[in-house]
Amino acid sequence: MPYSKIEILKGHSKEYKATLFRSVHDGLVNAISMTENNCTQRIYELDEEHYERPPGKTEKYTLIELALLPGRSVALKKNLITEITRLLGERLEIAPADIIIIINDHPLENWGFRGTHAIEMDLNYKKDV
């Protein structure tokens, strides 16, 4: 049950944002076997004065934070980063240098779903490639 927070500069088209959502979603499905309808994503569009970027970064600079359940292997996380980067490059021509992906895997005791503490649930999710 990943949660994605995507930060971009304001000014991109509706189609661009839809493709951005789809690319991150497809990367999660491909890399961690997330089910098709099991993702919440948000795009935060920031004005230029509210989004300081390192020198040389373009208007396509994209910061993606993923909140994942714990225990996934380094190999799986590497595969996830590679897959999302590949899809963003192919679909939106975002250069790898303009993509930052941060994976936060929070302990189960910090999650709750449908009013139930996650440690009380039988969660079955892919942890390795």
Domain extents in the chain = 3-120
Read off the tokens for 91.
């679909």
Q: Give me the pLDDT at residue 93, please.
A: 98
Q: Give me the pLDDT at residue 69, please.
A: 82
* Rounded distance between C-alpha atoms, residue 129 and residue 127, angstroms: 7
φ, ψ dihedrals at 47, nearest 5°: -65, 155
Q: End-to-end CA distance of the chain: give it in Å, rounded.
A: 17
Neighbours of 83 (CB within 10 A): 19
Contact present, 100 and 40 (Cβ < 8 Å)? no
Contact present, 95 and 60 (Cβ < 8 Å)? yes
For residue 26, what are the β-bridge partners?
none
Whole-number average pLDDT of the chain: 89
| Prediction pTM value | 0.87
**Range in 8-22, 39-53, 82-96, 100-114 with the lowest mean pLDDT:** 100-114
φ, ψ dihedrals at 106, nearest 5°: -90, 145
Non-local (6+) Cβ contacts of 29 within 8 A are: 35, 36
| CATH superfamily name and code, 3-120 | Macrophage Migration Inhibitory Factor (3.30.429.10)
